[in-house]
Amino acid sequence: MSHWIPANSILPYIQTLGLLVTLCVIIRKLRAQPSPWAALPRIPILGTLPYVTGPNFPLQCSGWRRKYGQIYSYKPGLAQEILVVCGARLARELFITNSQSFQHRHCPFFYARELKLEDHFTPLLDSSPAIQTQRRLIYQAIKASITRGKGAAVHRASLGLLQTLRSHANDRRSPVLDLQQVIADAVGLSALSLSYGFDWTIKDLRACREAAVLFAEVPKYFAFFNWINEPSVAFPFLTRLLGTRTQRIRESATQAAQNLLESYQGLFALTMEKVRNEGVGSLDDSVARILLSDDDEDIPVYRQSILCGSAATAAFSTTAGTVHLLVGCLAAYPEWQTKLQSEVDRLAKTQDPLNSSNGLPGFVSDKDHEDACLTWAFIDEALRYYPIFPINTRVANQDYTLHDGRTIKTGQILFTVPAAINRDPELYEDPDTFDPTRFLNNDTGSAKLEKGMKLNWPKYRHVSFGSGRRSCPGSELAEYSVFVLLTQLVHCFEVKYEDDASHAIGIRPELVGLENHFSIPKIKFIPRRDLSHL
């Protein structure tokens, strides 16, 4: 016997349920206090989610700024309301002038414990002793590496990159160039040297199993931070409703964290072996060398391996993405590439041969950096226009009253959107145009002083490295690495798209986890001079 219920008998129940939901929503709105924040439109249960269209959420936030102002509320599904900060003046007030009120990060993932964020991934930690120790060590290692070591690891990495590009350009039978992998090898070499003190070449790097494991696991680990595509962020009840899925993800997160931690320990074991055999002085200037040279540092070996490893992980991922972006910008904006070639070639003629690496311009002195104004402006403009981290998170750790009297309550989650702030018309004229000269002094052609800018953002001329107490501790090394790689690449090669039609495609940002990855059409490298000496 078939047991079914006619549709016409169910319909009244559905209509009644719909009416009750509507009444509940109306009553809730009538009882609710008016919000002090401009708000995106919302739909019951779904919140603001139906209005998120297209693949680039950060740029959509920038568009909403024109309608809703510098700060507005965004509510994903049933999750807590989020305040989105898109204006430069307000971001400065919150995250620089009053950064002590917004020190904490927001981590909405149900598998955060399995990722062991509190154990080792310091970029997401609060201002704990662990993160302060790592930030101090990174600052010390970077300063020593650049000033005393003259950036030796960066130059070794650059040489390896150029050698690979030369071989590919000279051999028409070579397979298709995996540009991202070539860049990852070069940047990975520099990151491992800064962290562990290895004086390796790229050949050594490729032969190291522990390094291969680390760089294979980093993207797998970061993939867990893709909060836009994780439904439980907006609908927390799904973690219980979809128990099998929840358990599977937790197991995968546990394995990813374990693999990453084991690679940290394996690389640190290689460092310890080198120190036992050759002494701590055999290490390059690095986090490991500082740790092992300082008798006052009472840090367990396990924690030392984590400090070194997380420094390598952070330096590798973001710097590789930035170099890949800049190569794409050279091809996308050939008129600026020509101007960079003229500047770099002029500086190369004035180089002291003792400051060169295999005949390449070294650009190791402050004077060289000051003279390369257009190159620095090009780097700044690329980072402004295409920020690697398009959205950052903060949590208010105390009540804070804005200059206009509105109060941000303790526990409030905030998104700060560099993708929007970097295009704030209050800061930049014609912000949607790629124009490096915005960072140059129109009268002298030299780089503008930061105090001459409208915003006077500390340290940087854009917000892509973050702000306040949570700004990127490795930004100086990232800028130095990018500068060396870019100048030597421009000196040796012309960078072009493989076909002219690619200019219509251009550079497309894609949000992957916490970072922007950039889709770039196929590129070719044409030698500008004899590179047989490399």
DSSP string, 199-249: ---HHHHHH-HHHHHHHHHHHHHHGGG-GGG-HHHH-TTHHHHTHHHHHHH
Q: Residue 221: beta bridge partners?
A: none
Map residue 54 onto helix, strand or coil. Answer: coil
| Pairwise CA distance, residues 473 & 131, whole Å | 10
| Pairwise CA distance, residues 437 & 421, whole Å | 19
**What is the distance in angstroms between the CA of the first residue and the CA of the last residue of the chain?**
84
The tokens of 330 are what? 């050279």
| Pairwise CA distance, residues 480 & 193, whole Å | 14
CB-based contact 513:226 (threshold 8 Å): yes
| Pairwise CA distance, residues 232 & 334, whole Å | 44
Side chain identity, residue 321: G
| Pairwise CA distance, residues 133 & 128, whole Å | 9
Find all residues with CB under 8 Å of 356, minimum gap 6, and list them.
Answer: 362
Is 472 one of the annotated binding-site residues?
Answer: yes
Instruction: Please state, as a whole number, how many other Cβ atoms lie within 10 Å of the Cβ of residue 112.
Output: 16
- Backbone phi and psi for residue 269, each to the nearest 5 degrees, phi listed first: -65, -35
| Pairwise CA distance, residues 197 & 526, whole Å | 34
- Backbone phi and psi for residue 178, each to the nearest 5 degrees, phi listed first: -90, 90
Closest CA to 84 of 446, 412, 320: 412
Side chain identity, residue 68: Y
| Binding region for heme | 472
Binding residues: 472
